[in-house]
Every structure is written in C-alpha cells, then in structure tokens.
Amino acid sequence: MILVHHLQIGRPLFTVFLLEELGLDYELKLYTRNELGRAPAELKEAHPLGKSPVIEDGDITLAESGAIAWHLVEHYDVEGRFSPPPLSQKAARAEWFQWLHYTEASAFAPLLLKLLLMREAEPKPQLISMFAAGEVALQLGYIQDFLGDKAYILGADLQLPDFGVAYITQMADRLGELGPYPKLKAYLDRATARPAYARALKKTGG
C-alpha cells in the first residue's frame, strides 16, 4: 500500500489526483501549513527536505513530484494509460519527457517568485519583480501556445505530464495570473472537473 505524506494546499493534491486516475489503493497522512504558509517541522520525519509530496512504497521513500509520478506509472500503470510513447516514437517520447520535467523545473520558479513577492513587505524589490513578471508571462504564454486548441497538453487525452501542467495552471490561477490566458483557464477547469480530481480533493481537503 502506498502512503502519501500530503501537505495542504499545493502540489501533493496532483499526486493524489494521479493515484485516483490510476485507481490505486493508498493511504494519506495529512499535514497543514503553519501560519507562515510553510510546511510543519514534522514533515522532516518523512523526508529530510520536509517537503510534500513524499510517498512511501514498501521500504522506498520518494520525493519530487516528477519522480513520484514516473515511479507510480512505471510500476502500477498496468493498462499503460499514462505511460510514455514507446522508444520507437522518438519525437513524441522526447516531448512527453520534456513536459514531465518542464513543469517541475523552468515553469515553477517564476511562480514561486510571484508568491514570495506577494508576501514581501513594501517596497517590493524592483529587479526581482521585473524578472518574475517577465518569466511568468514567458512560461504561461509558452504553455498556452503549446496547448492551443487541444483538450490536454499532449492531445485529446489526459497524460502524465498533465498533472504537472494542471498544478502550474492552478498555482498561476491562485496568484491571479491566468486572466490573459483563457485557454489555460479552460484547461484547468477541464482537468479539475474530472471525477478523479474531485475524489482527490474530497479525501485530502486540498
């Protein structure tokens, strides 16, 4: 049985969303943020970085959303529904892995900066504010352009990289950044309207 160390509110919800889509049994250990919005110290007992999501799978303790998603799919996606295109489809497979990595890497840091800037006292730092604004526009513009009129980021069906894209678009929405990106808002609404997301939300509280 997989155990998810789940911190409300944020990225771990999308790990639980994946578990629900896969139809796997799992247990939850719920944590709430402290008054500063940070993870509680007890999460360090689960993993030295004290972050979430962290999963336990037997004697394995695993951090990093992208690595967790890949682990779950490699071992438990019996129907291959969320597996990448085969090695022979070189271009499609490369794109799939780019999107799996991208949402945890380049796409995330600018939004983290935006979040920190909202909490920072006046006067806001000028260079960091400019950098964050430019990078958020670059990343969200890229995602919307790539999405185009597709239902999900790589086509008509929800695929593994979508869990990261849905997280990024939800974070952008919460930061009030999705206004200029109606296709991303529609995408987020589409992803979060899925029954598996509703179950994940209900079981975790967010």
Residues within the interface to a second copy (CB under 8 A): 48-51, 57-60, 62-67, 70-71, 74-75, 87, 90-91, 93-95, 97-98, 100-102, 104-106, 108-109, 112-113, 116-117, 119-121, 123-128, 131, 138-139, 142, 145
Q: What is the DSSP letter of 62?
A: E
Which amino acid, 204?
A: T
CB-wise, 129 or 192, nearer to a second copy?
A: 129
Closest approach of a second copy to the CB of residue 45, in Å: 15
Q: Which is nearer to a second copy, 80 or 195 (CB)?
A: 80
Nearer to a second copy (CB atom), residue 85 or residue 206: 85
Q: How far apart are CA 55 and CA 110, in angstroms?
A: 26
> What's the min distance (Å) between Cβ of 197 and a second copy?
22
Query: Considering the complex, what minimum distance in angstroms separates the CB of residue 94 from a second copy?
Result: 5
Q: Report the nearest approach of a second copy to the CB of residue 195 (Å).
A: 28
CB 56 within 8 A of CB 2: yes
**Residue 197 three-state SS:** helix
Query: 94 or 198: whose CB is closer to a second copy?
Result: 94
Tell the smallest beta-carbon distance from residue 112 to a second copy (Å). Answer: 5
Ordered DSSP codes for 146-167: HHTT-SBTTBSS--HHHHHHHH
Residue type, 42: E
Q: Which is nearer to a second copy, 132 or 178 (CB)?
A: 132
Q: Where are the alpha helices (DSSP H) in the chain?
A: 12-22, 65-76, 90-102, 108-119, 126-147, 160-174, 182-192, 195-204
